[in-house]
Structure 1
């Protein structure tokens, strides 16, 4: 009889079960904290995306009960994210709410394929400046959109339009044409969320978003405030499986671009969140490929249910870790609490004023703008700051997907320019000695104009010695240009061009 069996699937499951039960005292309270944080965010993201509040709760439920059980990351929590609000709202406007499920379903299947192909680790290669620029662009668009929403004014579709009409919106605030009560409620929400961390510890035990929503709902009911509230359809009524007619949304270039944007941005946000969460605890590290597959499975199911797309969310995940969670049990239980809340007391959603959700999202958008990183880059790496600013501006003025592509292209171009340093040293010891040119660094096409300017400015009738011993890289364009110049110099001036080390004078 083997008294020391090799670990197998049964052994691993038993070990995981014992671990979950051993930490239930930490995981159960943590799950309640995450649930209380998730409720206003799920509802707020759904409303800002142009769909019913219940669709946001469905995504949160799937993120807890399904993705929470899958391997990948142990402590980060998934659900609808503010970072995708702008993209989802545009998709709903362009293709209609009925097509949202098809788009999310296709994005989920693409994420599964990416996870199985082990592409998760490659997301860590994206420039941090592009990531911060993406988050800043999303945050600014979110803030601009919600400023119009809480003021009761129609928001321009484009980011540039929102900026251009911003002075007129501010004018409405002071002339009384904006919704004054809703605007004051949103402002009070932002102030409350900002100062919450400075309040006494017993007060901070209640999550700030939940406290803001509860106080606003109570004030609305007590003083009979005339402000728009969340519309309730019921959890089952909000489920909208994809239809045959909705499949047309993914057959065109615009639909495929939206699917690609959903998949890439949701994947990037989830894996960046995982990296951040891993730095917050000492437990198991994230398997990026498995986490990407788990997110894909979650989005596939969300698409089948007609819900919002899902990402791992740093706000919920940080709350989970800070509340003392130890295992996956906390995030699974948070999904169970969301299900019970949505199924048993859906009428509670109808008490929530839209203005307070707008304030929560404005505060969330402001937190996406990386001001500390901007200050640090200004002091140390202004080239990276340029990438961040251009990415942010491109996202605001174009689209999220196009802005990220512009940021990545600029980051690649900047890196190529910085790594192609070429040093050209010219030594002239007299008219009777050869001109000596020493090349070091990286000779790439980016430095070709400077190299040719130097060579073509050499005096005629003098032999030239080219020392390229210290060149780390000589690309095809520079090699061809050097050989062409050497052949022409030799033929025209009848003077020798010698190479150290020797280089064949043919192209």
Structure 2
């Protein structure tokens, strides 16, 4: 894979890997904490994403690891089934991805409606944003998305009236401010990743000021590994667990492959092979499941940082995994000084970026149906669950597509006392009410010819209904109806 041996290329890849490592480090820890699991599990997933997935064919520059997009789903899964089940769920998710990749389903994930994906990310972003506001204040967050949103006024009161909550929230808010303002600095300053700067400054201020706020709990890398047991594997037969597995598989695969399409637009190198990339993601999640770690996806933030840092080969993403491993082994205590409020601030910022605010206006003006699907998917995720929201969004997208492709034109012609009704387009059950209303309004005392030959497609429901209408019309002692059938494959 790494056939290029020029020193300049190797040096560029090494430098790019350090940039990706500095971006990935706070995000790995933050996503783990927000998911309700030990911080080390996020690092393990990042390490596997670098050393295992990074060495696999598929995408050249895409970087994988724990993603904010799965935080809400992981949090709910851990709370409902326990931490021990997480590894089993991720393991089966990986095996499903391997099967889908082997069956060449990778390309089909590209067919998922963009509106559904944006709605999914928006719903995740909203739940993540409002949930992490509570963590910023050191307060336990409510269970459901609606409870998190409804509890914001009470949270504001707690922050104002409680000194400790106000201090922690201020640290998180300052972290967000650094993330926002860092992009406005000169280009050379931005060579240092904003998340690293924001977390480092918050950690320094908290330590130097002696602020009494909660820090990340550290167990050690080996202690955090919890392979799934036999009981966990046998519990996979539960309907609720299988639903979670399907949600993990769908969301992780779609997010990874949509990320690949976005990353391909950032560089002129080799294009992503989607089936191979799905196999790589499946192998990574299988290894993460065996280790009891978080699920992984391709992460656009790290991937973009990799491309922008000048990576030339996949070596950069493999090396970033090596740096994460060295950090977790040699400097585990460094994680324990990071304030939780700072990591919550990073994830609030990430949650805001998941909501496609800039795209909603143009989408509403040009494609209102897509905007409705986006909004319904996001609201359903917030009010119900991730899986139900995504399924609803996909169903709406299919219905919208079916409605738009089943356009039909009904033309009534009169010639020498004979009426001819010509149907053009696609006759499906979705347009059947309109067709029947037109036919039933025709006079019954004149001969009628129903011309179906211009139709491109007639489904079974339409054909049956039209033949039944003709039979009723003929049985009513009226002038007969003559059907001119559609040609070729028009009749379903």
TM-score, normalising length: structure 2: 0.96
The 5-angstrom pairing of residues 334-349 of structure 1 reads 334-349=320-335
> What is the count of residue pairs matched by the alignment?
488
* Post-superposition offset of 1:224: 0.3
2:92 matched residue in structure 1: 106
CA distance in 1, matches of 2:424, 2:153: 54
The 5-angstrom pairing of residues 237-248 of structure 1 reads 237-248=223-234
| Aligned partners of 1:63 and 1:310 also within 8 Å | yes
The 5-angstrom pairing of residues 98-497 of structure 1 reads 98-176=84-162, 179-428=165-414, 433-497=417-481
1:37 matched residue in structure 2: 23
- Can you list the C-alpha shifts for 1:209-240, whole angstroms capped at 9, x where unaligned? 00001000100111001110011111111111
**3-state SS of paired residue (2:268):** coil
**3-state SS of paired residue (1:204):** helix
* Post-superposition offset of 1:439: 1.4
| Aligned partners of 2:86 and 2:293 also within 8 Å | yes
**3-state SS of paired residue (2:479):** coil
**3-state SS of paired residue (1:333):** helix
Larger deviation, residues 255-264 vs 396-405:
255-264
TM-score, normalising length: structure 1: 0.93
CA distance in 1, matches of 2:296, 2:466: 54
1:5 matched residue in structure 2: none
- Can you list the C-alpha shifts for 1:355-413, whole angstroms capped at 9, x where unaligned? 01001001011111112221111110001101111111111111111111100000000
Backbone CA RMSD of aligned residues: 1.7
| Aligned partners of 2:164 and 2:212 also within 8 Å | no
CA distance in 2, matches of 1:285, 1:502: 44
| Aligned partners of 2:164 and 2:213 also within 8 Å | no
CA distance in 2, matches of 1:56, 1:242: 17
Go from structure 1 to structure 2 and tell me whether the alpha carbon gap of 1:314 and 1:326 turns closer, same or farther (over 3 Å shift).
same
CA distance in 2, matches of 1:240, 1:290: 28
Go from structure 1 to structure 2 and tell me whether the alpha carbon gap of 1:251 and 1:499 turns closer, same or farther (over 3 Å shift).
closer
Q: Which stretches in structure 1 are left out of the alignment for 5+ residues?
A: 1-12
* Post-superposition offset of 1:436: 2.6
CA distance in 2, matches of 1:367, 1:490: 63
* Post-superposition offset of 1:264: 1.7
Larger deviation, residues 34-43 vs 444-453:
444-453
CA distance in 2, matches of 1:464, 1:299: 64
- Does the alignment pair 1:51 with 2:37? yes
1:9 matched residue in structure 2: none
Q: Which stretches in structure 2 are left out of the alignment for 5+ residues?
A: none
| Aligned partners of 1:75 and 1:327 also within 8 Å | yes
